[in-house]
Amino acid sequence: MSHPVLEVRDLSVRLPGAGDRRHAAQGISLTVHPREIVCIVGESGSGKSVTASAVMGLLPRNVLTRESGQILLSGQDITQASPAELRALRGNRMAMIFQEPMTALNPLMRVGRQIAEIFQFHAPQLGAREVQARVLRLLADMRLPSPDTLQHAYPHQLSGGQRQRVMIAMALALEPALIIADEPTTALDVTSQAQVLRLLHGLRERHDTGILFITHDFDVVAEIADRVIVMQQGQIVETGTAQEVLEQPRHAYTRKLIDAVPKGEFGARRPPPANDPVISVENLQMRFVTGGLFRSHHREVHALNDVSLSLARGETLGVVGESGSGKTTLGRCLAHFAAPTGGRIVMNGQDVSRLSRTQWRQWCKRIQMVFQDPYRSFNPRRTIAQTLAEGPMNYGESPARVAGRMREMLDLVSMDASALQRYPHEFSGGQRQRISIARALMMEPEVLIADEAVSALDVSVQAQILDLLEAIRERLNLSMIFITHDLRVAARLCHRIAVMQRGKVMEIGPAEQIFRHPSSDYTRELLAAIPGKDGLGSRQASIVLKEACA
């Protein structure tokens, strides 16, 4: 066998202070060979990302400390490299795809310029025209629309999935020997995810690239992994080939993770809610102009194009589609964060799409939103108590009633009242999402909009949040719009599913109908692109389908 492109020997990374454990990662040993994809799986806090950051030399100073161990890149011990030597290696010999592109990209620099910087720093021999051609080629390879125009956009002008693809393009720019991918497909829809996985497969075949792939999606593991490493509480608890780990897991923790994978249960098997529309969307339009500094770069984008749908009282409606399909724009229009350019939004018989900001204040309590990234939606300087109290206090609720409701809502989302005096950074991702749900419920809404509320969570926490949302909907008789790029998650939670593409609703119907008898070619493409069709996902889905049809 060839020499490893990456070899980690007995790596331990120490946590500061008195935490719940001494090490973020302890005794980690692993190898990645050329043309090999090694997947690390585990729950949030298991040490996956810390291990990746240690390899890249990106551990935060004065927070995490490498206590022991060696990290060899093509035989070179990079723990002994100087900061300048590490900078030269990053991007050239090794590259990292980060989970959250908005924090990794420069918000003040156009995305094309950020990709070009990789070539200018590591390949100064390339001329300006060659650099420009490579930038456009990378953007096209990522299936980004209109690369010649999109290269002039700033990160905040792109959707979450588009930003992630820009981040991946930067990592692949110089085709390094080692790629570390930290949850690179979490924010991507299934078709974009499939494209990225094919790109990584092709890269390792063409250039002998070794890939260390961190993920919580076992269907992705089934699709691409050669070997699998399972981590828990900073330690490796199981390792083996993908087939061994997925089909015959030895450790109880591994079995727990696999059991939590969405299996495609159909929400339509529950009794359907009463056909009493709480909100209706009629021919909704949303257009805006995007582009660069020059008018020739401008183009009109139809984020929503004649969208019509309704939400019954007590119903969960899933909105599914690729990145840029208009899902989040629809949610933002419904929550009055964005004003549609045409059509109507009717709530309880009244057109609320044309209300002024003052008039909307009377209605906005009734529609609340749970965001994809709760950490970015919280004020890091405010305690949880201040965060939960802000909304109702602004509407004149008494402090005594707000205090009682805070404890009631935390109990509803299975959080202890001791959380009230803590800050957002003191919680895990799943806990922050529970608090985000509690904040939305503080306003006693009729409609809850969940925008990719579980996409960044590991499978076990994701299952808990989905069960929590379903229990809350039934207990409070809420109507819910669940925006997601994961069709399996939508099938588990939603009564009906609306499939969107390029601002249009391609089809809408009961979840089981969408899965078993899709009427749109686009829906069939989405279903065909689900990763792991020939592995874990297909085996579980086939069992569920047989049970549903029995």
DSSP assignment of 42-70 equals: --TTSSHHHHHHHHHT-PPTTT-EEEEEE
Q: What is the pLDDT of residue 141?
A: 84
Q: What is the pLDDT of residue 218?
A: 85
Highest mean pLDDT among 29-43, 204-218, 247-261: 29-43
Q: Report the chain's mean pLDDT, rounded to a whole number.
A: 85
Does the pLDDT value for residue 533 go beyond 60? no
Give the pLDDT band of residue 19 (cuts 50, 70, 90): low
Q: What is the pLDDT of residue 187?
A: 67
Give the pLDDT band of residue 547 (cuts 50, 70, 90): very low
What amino acid is encoded at 348 in this protein? Answer: N
Q: Rounded to the nearest 10 degrees, what angle do helices 429-441 and 384-394 cross at?
A: 20
Q: What is the dihedral of CA 57, 62, 64, 67, to 10 degrees?
A: 80
Q: Are 157 and 290 in contact (CB under 8 A)?
A: yes
| DSSP of 95-135 | EEE-S-HHHHS-TTS-HHHHHHHHHHHH-TTS-HHHHHHHH
Q: What percent of the chain has pLDDT over 70?
A: 91
Tokens 């291990």 appear where? 51
Q: How far apart are CA 394 and CA 386, in angstroms?
A: 12
More confident residue, 237 or 198: 237
Closest to 15 in 3D by CA, of 37, 47, 52: 47
Q: Are 466 and 171 in contact (CB under 8 A)?
A: no
Q: Are 318 and 511 in contact (CB under 8 A)?
A: yes
Kindly give, in sequence order, each residue whose CB lies less than 8 Å from that of residue 462, ignoring residues fewer than 6 positions away.
216, 260, 262, 454, 489
Closest to 38 in 3D by CA, of 63, 78, 75, 8: 8
- Tell the burial category of 156 from Cβ atoms under 10 Å away from its Cβ (0-12, 13-18, 19+): exposed
Kindly report, residue by residue over 298-328, the tens digit of the pLDDT. Answer: 667 788 999 999 999 999 999 998 877 899 8
Q: Are 282 and 505 in contact (CB under 8 A)?
A: no
By DSSP bridging, strand 94-97 and strand 37-41 are unpaired
By DSSP bridging, strand 479-484 and strand 316-321 are parallel
Tokens 């919580």 appear where? 216
Q: What is the dihedral of CA 82, 83, 84, 90, to 10 degrees?
A: 110
Q: Are 30 and 38 in contact (CB under 8 A)?
A: yes
Kindly give, in sequence order, each residue whose CB lies less than 8 Å from that of residue 259, ignoring residues fewer than 6 positions away.
none
* Whole-structure pTM value: 0.75
Q: What is the pLDDT of residue 540?
A: 42
Kindly report, residue by residue over 34-82, the tens digit of the pLDDT. Answer: 999 999 998 877 889 899 999 999 988 877 889 999 999 999 999 999 9
Kindly report, residue by residue over 454-512, the tens digit of the pLDDT. Answer: 877 777 778 888 888 988 998 888 999 999 988 888 888 899 999 999 899 999 999 98
- How many C-beta atoms surround the C-beta of residue 307 within 10 A? 24
Q: What is the pLDDT of residue 386?
A: 94
Q: How far apart are CA 318 and CA 483, in angstroms?
A: 6
Closest to 527 in 3D by CA, of 486, 475, 498, 472: 486
The Cα angle at residue 170 between residues 168 and 171, in degrees rounded to 5? 65
